[in-house]
Amino acid sequence: MSQSRVAVVTGAARGIGAATAARLAADGLAVAVLDLEEAAAKGTADAIVAAGGRAVAVGADVADAEAAQAAVDRLASELGAPTVLVNNAGITRDNLLFRMTEADWDAVMGVHLRGSFLMSRAAQKHMVDAGWGRIVNLSSTSALGKRGQANYAAAKAGLQGFTKSLAFELGRFGITVNCIAPGFVVSDMTRATAERLSVPWDDYLAQRISEIPVGRAGEPADIAHAVSCFVDERSGFVSGQVLYVSGGPRT
């Protein structure tokens, strides 16, 4: 990968985002580690720098148009024009429909859909100018529907449509747009789900693994590897695709 490439990974303070940022840095890209609080992102950025890579921590609310644009402008001046964007930032506000509030709905849509739209809109100019770009959006197997996740499932399904639409629009500029839909991945988010359900983590983990054909849970590095494949220079003829990384056929 060219040393001149600059990537932005949102929601990169921990979990899948942090693993993705580290993987892209190992691939030779400079990485903007973006999260809601810059202090939270600093640990990921510092680890990349300590390993010999180039990274900066950036704090921004991706659902805020001015903040998203300012973040892209800042990293363009500090690292260089971004030509890789990984829209990973996400939150959950799970509840059954009759208990779900408008705030729960709007918050999830804001981060996942609005945030991906705003970051893509801000970054695409740099990609068009370069005649080359990669956008990777993080969906989920929950896009297929899941009890208690009407907001999250709708947002993640929406990202798949968003991906395919951008692939049509941006392809002629040398920009590919793809989507990864992780299955069960060990993370702070899945641990929080077990806690919300009042199920001991070990029991919850065992139950989820029992449903996965390959017989193990996903790790953030599994998703980071898939992102790396889409970002690779040699993947220029792959666009508009949704890749389920779930240890089986959409588990």
pLDDT confidence of 138, banded at 50, 70, 90? very high
C-alpha span between 113 and 44 (Å, rounded): 24
Among 105, 152, 204, 230, which one carries the catalytic annotation?
152
Which three-class secondary structure state does DSSP give residue 31? strand
pLDDT confidence of 3, banded at 50, 70, 90? low
Q: Are residues 32 and 121 in the same domain?
A: yes
Contact assessment for residue 30 and residue 80, using Cβ atoms and an 8 Å cutoff: yes
Mean pLDDT along residues 148-164: 98
Domain count, the chain: 2
Query: Which residue in 21, 17, 7 sits closest to 75, CA to CA?
Result: 7
In this prediction, what percent of the chain has a pLDDT beyond 70?
98
Per the domain annotation, does 250 fall within a domain?
A: no
Q: Are residues 170 and 195 in the same domain?
A: no
Q: Are residues 52 and 83 in the same domain?
A: yes
Residue 244 designated active-site:
no
State the residue range of the domain holding 195. Answer: 184-217
Q: Are residues 200 and 145 in the same domain?
A: no
